[in-house]
Amino acid sequence: MIKPYYEAEGCTIYLGDCLDIMPTLEANSIDSIVTDPPYGLSFMGKDWDHGVPGSPFWIEALRVAKPGAFMLAFGGTRTFHRLAVAIEDAGWEIRDTIGWIYGQGFPKSHDISKAIDKVAGAERELGSENPNWRSSRSNIACPQGVLSARITAPAIDAARQWEGWGTALKPAWEPIIVARKPIEGTVANNVLRWGTGGINIDGCRVGTSQNDKNIRINPTKSNGLKSVFGIGDVNYGRGPATKGRWPANICHDGSDEVVGLFPNTGSGHSPKYSKANPFGGNNDSPHNEHYFNDSGSAARFFYCAKSSKSDRNLGLDNTRTIKYNIPKIGGVLCKDVSMELVESLQRVTSGTGLVMKWHTGENGESIMGQCPLDSLFTTLMGISKITTSQILPSLMSSLTNGSILGANCEMENGGSPAENAEISSTLDQGITSVHQELVLGVSRVVSEMLSVISDGANWKQATNTHSTVKPTPLMRYLCRLVTPPNGIILDPFAGSGSTGKAAILEGFRFIGIELEMESVEIAVKRLPQKGLPL
């Protein structure tokens, strides 16, 4: 049996591959699945995002889900069709797609004009500072100097011709696939037996101002408006309505960019009534019709889930972190090497009793360290005593291994790693000059890195480094939409714990599975302090 990484009241989190862990869960035991799986875009250079999860993942998810259980799965706009097919091929029913619309996406476009100048080897003329440039690198220790952005002008005619052309649009929405495990018999029978199969409409209605809510009541025939289902005139009374609008398959973040896209509208009420009754008969029986005497942006018709940095980073206040960018000029750019370096740092720092954790950043081009705030002073003192010679020997066997050297390692053109006579004398005489050059290059990186991370000024408050964090209000809404009271929610791609946090806040039990240690650690810190009994 696989032991959970974290287990508390109403919450269990596993560190590992969901294909290894889901088979250990009981069949027909999960009430809903709410997850944000990899989009298959290698977003932000993340290894875990290299492919869309195929049918084997969703077959196992189908096994553990109760009949009628719903699954909500986020997808990327370029690849969600593959995700939907994989889910459907696994035996799930595709029921709908929810559109999550947001205004904070940033375009990941390739500047064609700049690319043409680069191919031609032409240097672009620097202009004024870009007013839209916002540095997000305040927590990065960068040996290359201060990062900035200047507007540049095309250098050659071909580049001028393609100025203003790119390769991608700004992302502003994500699809959420709504799937359901086939029910047993009728919906009513399935709900009575398993407690699953329905959507929580009233629990997810879109709220409005109490003063703007009204309900129309059709008690009698008289002159006035026409009934949509009956023949003859009807008279409507009016009273308070408190339920709110029916939830739609669109939700948004309430940002100015999004709200501004919707037109301003008046009252949200039923369309004009007609004398015709396509179903026959009349409409003498009393019935209720919701009428909302409000006006404004039509965005109010859809659920709004606002996001914030404080929500994203909640629970990380007492942790400090540092990010060191491995220099490309005169240094080594190699993912395998940086991973070995992280392991060596972990061994050395743990040997000194320091409370630290290390991991690689995007594409192996950076190394990140983390420690509790109350241990930072002791940690800095301990790091200052670590020497390059302590770390380098543990790297040598890996650095001179042919399989690693054959990986994506490169020395930047013109780079010349700083040589150290003492280190050179310790190198195995049997290794080639290329191997020696690589080891010497890493030794320089290690020396610089130790100098940077021993300086307390370079340490910042920890933030959620996961690249696809969803707002807690959105995840609470989705959990509530498809999960019965006291239900168990599974997230096989738990990431930094957004689903888990939302599930606990909504009073549900949660099982999360995550492959990356860094994300699991963040997820545990973000969980509410108090959950429910198991």
Quote the tokens at residue 354.
């320091």
Q: Find the radius of gyration of the CA atoms of the chain.
A: 29
Supply the DSSP string of 407-440, one letter for each residue: SS-EEPTT--PPP-HHHHHHS-TTS-HHHHHHHH
| Phi and psi at residue 66, to the nearest 5° | -70, 150
* Residue 217: predicted pLDDT: 37
Nearest to 301 by CA among 222, 248, 366: 248
Residues 439 and 471 in one domain: no
Two structure tokens written together for 480: 């509530």
CA distances from 288 to 50, 222, 238, 281, 519 (A): 51, 17, 10, 18, 49
Residue 359, strand partner residues? 368
Is residue 237 in some structural domain? yes
In a domain, 180, yes or no: yes
Report pLDDT for 433: 53
| pLDDT at res. 391 | 63
Pairing of strands 173-180, 93-101: antiparallel
For the ranges 86-100, 101-115, 298-312, 366-380, the one whose mean pLDDT is highest:
86-100
pLDDT, tens digit, 9 for 90 and up, residues 419-466: 343 434 443 444 455 555 566 666 666 777 777 777 777 777 666 555
Residues 501-523, mean pLDDT to the nearest whole number: 92
Do 270 and 337 fall into the same domain?
A: no
pLDDT at residue 369 in the model? 77
63: pLDDT strictly greater than 70? yes
Per-residue pLDDT band at 60 (split at 50, 70, 90): very high
Asked if 333 and 411 sit in the same domain, the reply is yes
Nearest Cα to Cα of residue 28 among 60, 74, 4: 60
User: What is the pLDDT at residue 76?
Assistant: 92
Scanning the structure block, which residue is given the tokens 């904070």?
Answer: 104
68 within some domain:
yes
Tens of pLDDT, residue by residue over 399-414, are 555 434 433 343 333 3
Look at 180-189, 197-206, 423-432, 508-517 and tell me which has the smallest mean pLDDT: 423-432
DSSP tally for the chain: helices H, then strands E: 17, 24
**pLDDT class of 327 with cuts at 50, 70, 90:** low
Q: Taking all residues of the chain, what is their mean pLDDT, rounded to a whole number?
A: 74
Residue 237 structural domain: 207-247+256-301
For the CA atoms of 91, 92, 95, 98, the dihedral, rounded to the nearest 10 degrees, stands at -130
Q: How far is CA 41 from the centre of its chain?
A: 13
Mean pLDDT, residues 204-220 taken together: 55
For residue 131, what pLDDT is reported? 60
Ramachandran quadrant class, 315 (left: phi over 0; alpha: psi -120 to 50; beta: rest): left
Residue 276 lies in a domain: yes
169 or 441, greater pLDDT: 169
Q: What is the reported pLDDT for 24? A: 97
Higher pLDDT, 131 or 109: 109
pLDDT for the residue 41: 63
**Reported confidence tier of residue 364, pLDDT bands at 50, 70, 90:** low
**Residue 334 has what pLDDT?**
55
Confidence check: pLDDT of 305 > 60: yes
Q: Please tell me whether residues 68 and 194 are part of one structural domain.
A: yes
pLDDT in the model for residue 416: 36
Q: What are phi and psi of 273, to 5 degrees?
A: -75, 155
51 backbone dihedrals φ, ψ, rounded to 5°: -155, 155
**Res. 374: pLDDT tops 90:** no
Instruction: Give the CATH number, domain containing residue 34.
Output: 3.40.50.150
Three-class secondary structure of residue 496 per DSSP:
coil
Question: What mean pLDDT comes out for the span 71-97?
Answer: 96
Measure the CA–CA gap between 287 and 229, rounded to whole angstroms: 11
Residue 194, pLDDT > 90, answer yes
Where a domain ends, among 443, 461, 479? 461
Number of compact structural domains in the chain: 3
Q: Which two tokens stand for residue 333?
A: 């750019």
Strongest mean pLDDT among 124-128, 169-173, 391-395 = 169-173
Pairing of strands 11-15, 6-8: antiparallel
Claim to verify: residue 296 and residue 230 sit in the same structural domain: yes
Confidence of residue 303 (pLDDT cuts 50, 70, 90): confident
Q: Is residue 112 part of a domain?
A: no
State yes or no: pLDDT of 140 exceeds 60. Answer: no
Q: Which of 236, 191, 244 is nearest to 218 (CA)?
A: 236
Confidence of residue 15 (pLDDT cuts 50, 70, 90): very high
pLDDT score of 439: 61
In a domain, 133, yes or no: no
Give the strand pairing for 140-141 and 319-325. parallel
Higher-scoring residue by pLDDT: 216, 56: 56
B/e letters for 429-455, b = 16+ CB within 10 Å, e = fewer, are: eeeeeebbbbbbbbbbbbbbbbebbbe
Q: Is 79 left (phi over 0), alpha (psi -120 to 50) or beta?
A: alpha
Q: What is the pLDDT of residue 48?
A: 40
On whether residue 72 sits in a domain, the answer given is: yes
pLDDT at 365 over 50: yes
Average pLDDT over residues 463-484: 85
SS3 301: helix
Q: Are residues 455 and 418 part of one domain?
A: yes
Same domain? 330 vs 401: yes
Cα–Cα distances (Å) from 352 to 378, 380, 451, 484, in that order, read: 11, 12, 17, 49
Judgement on whether residues 430 and 445 belong to the same structural domain of the protein: yes
Instruction: Please give the DSSP secondary-structure letter assigned to residue 319.
Output: E
Average pLDDT, stretch 8-34? 96
Examine the domain organization and report whether 416 and 345 are in the same domain.
yes
Q: Are residues 490 and 348 in the same domain?
A: no
Q: Is residue 481 part of a domain?
A: yes
Give yes or no: residues 334 and 193 share one domain. Answer: no
**Residue 378 sits in the same domain as residue 230:** no
pLDDT interval class at 351 (50, 70, 90): low
Strand order of the β-sheet with 213-226 is: 233-239, 213-226, 288-292
